[in-house]
Every structure is written in structure tokens, then in C-alpha cells.
């Protein structure tokens, strides 16, 4: 199977600080990859490089056999990689439906200013697509609520739904459950994973909650000090001695998937 | 629907014009020419951008009309106005290459700085009349040169035509993808960028449209006043347009025209009543607007509509 994302010798330095180094990995299509690591381990730096927010100092990133290293984020989005954010990036002044219409209209439109000036934002197609996305992410109850007043969990879902509006093949989720109460976390992840698998999207998600990682990831990448120290199925990666020492803490805190 | 109402209003105004006193016509001509500048500010305002230098394009539109009329001996009103707007639009594009990268106070101050450069140049240029400015030749329309009251009336109709076209196009723009993205630009530039659209390019486009409108307004104003001077580029002129934008509110296209007319009327009355201290009346009006009508005159229509719907 050919990889949808291939990363070779990726490195990012800020002056003398090495934020990422020696990252090598291949992600096959439709895999769900959990990324773990302590704060400052390089998880977000890695995501920022893949999505074009940061230009790597060294190495290459290939997406669907195309070199995307150092390309601007707008271009990368158009090629099929989207992302959600640790702090949900939505439009608080608009309703959920308007948020989705906006995302759908931008994603559908050709990347030319002329087309964007002549085509109306609201069209039957964009409205239909917005409704579908709202249903897919099960936020119908909030359809006409102003996004500023949404509960945290719904904000996160909306953020991800907007990222998906561009019909990406690869989606990077930066802490999809951060700021969400423990009771809600699993429900939200269930909705997200069901929706994304329905769209056959390859997923990379950063997560601090090991139970969530164990439950939803097919594969785990553990980051420490800017590089990947463990890469494998959840049981193996989470059971790794280094991972337990540096990331997940004591063994007692890490429950195995069977318990979760 | 709104566009149909707007079209009817413009036609009614045009039909009523011959029966209105001359002072209202000349006041409305200036007010509507200036309303075009305000319309441009509304476009930027919605995206959270307030330029304090829009008089730059206003003055460019005006001076181009005056200069072309004087040196190239072109008198056709449509060609003059087209040239005024086009040159302003080109300058807006060039300035926009820099300005589109800035936001908030930096955007406001940089736009102010650029406009003051033009003011300085105009003041120092003896051949352009320095601080006195110079006279604008009377234009011709379809080869005719109307005189006296007719000239005022024809110019008013012409301004109405340009305003109607601009209002229609801007209202279409507000519904387009690019035009609808004003609130999103204010809310989250990061999300827009990661949806695959360049915020700087969106803002650059808004700057060019606003520049074209300001140039058009300046060109028409120069013909209406028959005189241009550097004050048209001065920061108080820019501030005046921002004043009218606050007064009108950014809620609708129509508000720009109503707001601009109310402002000119208020200023005329104020100067009449308190010749030495007329600014006090305008200042009080601005204060009261901000306190009681923070969304501007345009929000009065919305309040009225909501009240009508409730009583039904």
C-alpha cells in the first residue's frame, strides 16, 4: 500500500532550539493515527509543518506522491489536507449554519477572485452541503445558534466540521477534546471518528488522554524532545518503557484498551 | 427585494428633482457623491478596518477630473468621471499591496500617512494652485453643455445614475463569496486561511473597491463644486467620511446614502444657525448617535421593521 503521507528526515530549528528532528514516517490511507507527547515535545510543530504553517528547516513532506514541503497553507488545503485547532477557529458572530455555509462556499469555489466576486455565498449547493455537514456531526440542535454562545464541545465539533468542508483526504486534529469535560470527551470523539470514517479521511490527531488514544487510534506516534520515540499499534506504543517514563507517567495511569 | 426598493427610490428622486428647490439639489448632489466614499468605507468597516486616509482617493478622483479638463481639454463628463475613478482604483491597488497586510490601528494610521503625502505634495505644488487649488472646467454631457439651473439638475441626475449603479453592484458584492467574508475576516483569519483563501487578497480587493468608489465620489464632487483644493486630501476630510460612516452605520447600502444626506443637511443647518461654532452641533450629533444609535441610522429601518412585524 502506498502512503498518503510520507515524511523524511524532517527537522525544524528556531535558532539553536531544535523543535523537531529526524522525523521519518509513512501513513497509509485511512489510517487513524494518535500523536502523543508532553508539552513542547514537537507534536504541534510537526502538524504545523505538514499543514504549511511552518516551513521545515530540513527534510521533505510528500502528500499523495507530491512534494508539499514548505508550500503555503492555503495551497496545501487545496491539495487535500485540512486541520482543526486546539482553540476552535470558528466565526463567533455567525450562526452554526452560516459558519458551515461560509466554509462550504470557500471550499467549493475556484481559487480565483473573479469567481469569488461573481458567485453568491448562499446557493442551494452550499446550503445543502452545510446541512449535510451539520447532520454528519450531529449538531442540528445548534443550527441557528450564534457560534459565540456554543458549548465548548459543540465549538470543537463545528471547528472540525468546517475543516472537513474542504473534502480533505488527510485531516490533522490538534487536541480535538481539549477544553471539553471528561464526560463529553468520548461522545465527541465517537461523533468525530464516525463522521470522518464515513468520508474515508486519513486522520492524525494529537491527544493527551491516553484512554482516548487507546480507544480510537489504529497507530500511535509518541513524540519526545522533537522526535518520534515510539511508533506502532496502541498497545505496543503505550506499553513502551520510554513512553511510560516520558509521556504517560506511571503504569497505573495508563489503562489498556480492554479496560477503557 | 431591497434592490427593487432602492431602484424605486432612485427613480422617485430623479422624478422629484425638477420640483425641489435648487439648494436641496446642490446639497443632495454633494451628499450622494460623498455617499459613494462612505459606501467604500462600509465595505472596509464590515471587515473591521477603518481607514483614516480615504480622502486620498477622493482627492485623486477630483484632481484627475480637474487636471484632465484643464490640460487635455476633455470635457465629456463620462470620460472624466471614468478616468477619476480608474486612477484612484489603480493607486488603491498599489497602496493596497502594502496596506492589505496591516490591521486595526496600524491600518488606520498607515492609510492616514499615505493620504497626507498627497496633501503635502498638493500644498507645495504651485502649478496646481497650492493651497488655493484651481477651477474645474464645466463638463459636457453627450456634447451638450447645460447652463444655470439645468446644469445643476443634469449633474444631480448623473450622480443618481452613478449612485444607483454603485449601490446595485455593492449590494451584489455583499452577497458574493468574497463580499460575505467581511465578518469572518474580523472573527478568525486563521480559519479562513486554512479553508484555502488568502485574507490579505480579500482585503486588497476591498481596498481597491473602496478606492474606486472614493475616486468616483471625488470626481463627481469636483464637478459639483467646480473647484478642487488640497483640503480634499486632508485628514479632516477622511475623518468626515468616517464620521458619516458611524452616523449611517454599516448595516446596509441604503444607509450610506441616507446618512450622507443627513450629514450634509445637518452641517448646512449648523453653519446657518451657529456660524462660528457649528462643529459643536456636529460633535453633539455624533455623540448622540454613538450613545443611542450605535449601529447608525441604518438600524432605525431595522428597528422599524421589527416593530412592524411584531404588531402584525
pLDDT for A18 equals: 84
pLDDT for A1 equals: 52
Q: Domain B2-311 - what CATH class? A: mainly alpha
| Best of B43, B169, B175, B177 to mutate (most A CBs within 10 Å, chain A) | B177
Burial letters B141-175, b for 16+ CB under 10 A, else e: beeeeeeeeebbbbbbbbbbebbbebbeebbebbe
DSSP run (H or E) holding B183: helix B182-187
- What band does A260 get if pLDDT is binned at 50, 70 and 90? very low
Question: CB distance from B127 to chain A under 8 Å?
Answer: no
Correct CATH for A1-49+56-69+201-260 of 3.60.110.10, 3.30.70.260, 3.40.50.12280, 3.40.50.300? 3.40.50.300
Does ipTM top 0.90?
Answer: no
Q: Any residues with CB less than 8 A from the CB of A17 and at least 6 apart, and which?
A: none
Give A19-57 pLDDT, tens digit per residue: 888 888 998 998 889 888 888 888 888 898 999 888 888
Please, how many CA atoms are within 13 Å of residue A5, restricted to the half-sphere of its CB? Answer: 29
Segment 192-231 of chain B within 8 Å of chain A by CB: 192-198, 201, 205
Cβ contact A220:A231 at 8 Å? yes
- B37 has pLDDT over 60: yes
| Best of A68, A85, A105 to mutate (most B CBs within 10 Å, chain B) | A105
Contacts of A82 in chain B (CB under 8 A): 194
Can you tell me the distance from the alpha carbon of B97 to that of B204, in angstroms, rounded to the nearest whole number?
Answer: 7
CA distances from A43 to A48, A50, A175, A226, B76 (A): 9, 11, 10, 8, 65
Nearest-Å Rg of the Cα atoms of chain B is 19
Mean pLDDT of chain A: 84
Residue A65 DSSP one-character state: T
Residue A165 DSSP one-character state: T
Are B177 and A121 an interchain contact pair (Cβ–Cβ within 8 Å)?
yes
Residue A221 DSSP one-character state: E
Domain ranges in chain A are 1-49+56-69+201-260, 91-152
Are B192 and A106 an interchain contact pair (Cβ–Cβ within 8 Å)?
yes
Across-strand partners of A10? Answer: A23
Nearest CA to CA, how far is A81 from chain B (Å)? 9
What three-state secondary structure class fits A42? coil
Comparing B80-94, B129-143, B160-174, the range with the smallest average pLDDT is B129-143
Can you tell me the distance from the alpha carbon of A136 to that of A140, in angstroms, rounded to the nearest whole number?
Answer: 9
- Nearest Cα neighbor of B180 from B74, B67, B278, B47 is B47
Are B194 and A77 an interchain contact pair (Cβ–Cβ within 8 Å)?
yes
| pTM (predicted TM-score) | 0.86
Angle at A167 between CA A141 and CA A183, to 5 degrees: 40
- B16 has pLDDT over 90: no
Amino acid at each position: 500500500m502506498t502512503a498518503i503521507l510520507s515524511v523524511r528526515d524532517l527537522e525544524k530549528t528556531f535558532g539553536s532550539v531544535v523543535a523537531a528532528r529526524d522525523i521519518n514516517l509513512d501513513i497509509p490511507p485511512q489510517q487513524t493515527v494518535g500523536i502523543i507527547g508532553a508539552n513542547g515535545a514537537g507534536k504541534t510543530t510537526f502538524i504545523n509543518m505538514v499543514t504549511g504553517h511552518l516551513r521545515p528547516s530540513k527534510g521533505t513532506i510528500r502528500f499523495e506522491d507530491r512534494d508539499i514541503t514548505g508550500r503555503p497553507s492555503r495551497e496545501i488545503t487545496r491539495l487535500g489536507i485540512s486541520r482543526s485547532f486546539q482553540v476552535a477557529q470558528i466565526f463567533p458572530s455567525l450562526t452554526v449554519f452560516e459558519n458551515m455555509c461560509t466554509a462550504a462556499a470557500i471550499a467549493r469555489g475556484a481559487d480565483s477572485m473573479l469567481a469569488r466576486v461573481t458567485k453568491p455565498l448562499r446557493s442551494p449547493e452550499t446550503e445543502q452541503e452545510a446541512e449535510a455537514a451539520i447532520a454528519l456531526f450531529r449538531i442540528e440542535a445548534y443550527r441557528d445558534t450564534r457560534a459565540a454562545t456554543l458549548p465548548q464541545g459543540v465549538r470543537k465539533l463545528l471547528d472540525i466540521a468546517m475543516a472537513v468542508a474542504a473534502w480533505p483526504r488527510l485531516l490533522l486534529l490538534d487536541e480535538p477534546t481539549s477544553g471539553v469535560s471528561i464526560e463529553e470527551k468520548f461522545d465527541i470523539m465517537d461523533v468525530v471518528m464516525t463522521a470522518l470514517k464515513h468520508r474515508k479521511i486519513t486522520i492524525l490527531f494529537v491527544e493527551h488522554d491516553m484512554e482516548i488514544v487507546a480507544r480510537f487510534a489504529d497507530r500511535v506516534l509518541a513524540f519526545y524532545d522533537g522526535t518520534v520515540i515510539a511508533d506502532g499499534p496502541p498497545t505496543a506504543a503505550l506499553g513502551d518503557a520510554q513512553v511510560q517514563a516520558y509521556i504517560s507517567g506511571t503504569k497505573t495511569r495508563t489503562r489498556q484498551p480492554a479496560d477503557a | 427585494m431591497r434592490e427593487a426598493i432602492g431602484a424605486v427610490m432612485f427613480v422617485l428622486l430623479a422624478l422629484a428633482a425638477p420640483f425641489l428647490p435648487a439648494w436641496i439639489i446642490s446639497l443632495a448632489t454633494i451628499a450622494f457623491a460623498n455617499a459613494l466614499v462612505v459606501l467604500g468605507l462600509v465595505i472596509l468597516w464590515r471587515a473591521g478596518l477603518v481607514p483614516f486616509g480615504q480622502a486620498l482617493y477622493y482627492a485623486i478622483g477630483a484632481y484627475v477630473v480637474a487636471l484632465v479638463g484643464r490640460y487635455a481639454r476633455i470635457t465629456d463628463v463620462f470620460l472624466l468621471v471614468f478616468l477619476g475613478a480608474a486612477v484612484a482604483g489603480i493607486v488603491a491597488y498599489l497602496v493596497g499591496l502594502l496596506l492589505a497586510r496591516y490591521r486595526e490601528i496600524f491600518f488606520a494610521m498607515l492609510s492616514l500617512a499615505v493620504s497626507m503625502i498627497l496633501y503635502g505634495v498638493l500644498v507645495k505644488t504651485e502649478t496646481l494652485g497650492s493651497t488655493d487649488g484651481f477651477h474645474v472646467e464645466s463638463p459636457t454631457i453627450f456634447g451638450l453643455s447645460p447652463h444655470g439651473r439645468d446644469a445643476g439638475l443634469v449633474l444631480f441626475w448623473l450622480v443618481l445614475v452613478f449612485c444607483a449603479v454603485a449601490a446595485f453592484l455593492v449590494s451584489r458584492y455583499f452577497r458574493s463569496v468574497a463580499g460575505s467574508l467581511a465578518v469572518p475576516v474580523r472573527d478568525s483569519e486563521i480559519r479562513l486561511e486554512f479553508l484555502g483563501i488568502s485574507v490579505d487578497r480579500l482585503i486588497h480587493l476591498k481596498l481597491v473597491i473602496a478606492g474606486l468608489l472614493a475616486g468616483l465620489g471625488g470626481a463627481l464632487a469636483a464637478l459639483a463644486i467646480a473647484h478642487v483644493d488640497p483640503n480634499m486630501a486632508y485628514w479632516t476630510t477622511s475623518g468626515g467620511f468616517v464620521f458619516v460612516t458611524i452616523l449611517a452605520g454599516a448595516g446596509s447600502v441604503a444607509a450610506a446614502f441616507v446618512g450622507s444626506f443627513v450629514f450634509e443637511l445637518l452641517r448646512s443647518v449648523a453653519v446657518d444657525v451657529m456660524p462660528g461654532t457649528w462643529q459643536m452641533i456636529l460633535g453633539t450629533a455624533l455623540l448622540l448617535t454613538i450613545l443611542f444609535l450605535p449601529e447608525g441610522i441604518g438600524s432605525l429601518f431595522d428597528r422599524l421593521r421589527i416593530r412592524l412585524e411584531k404588531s402584525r
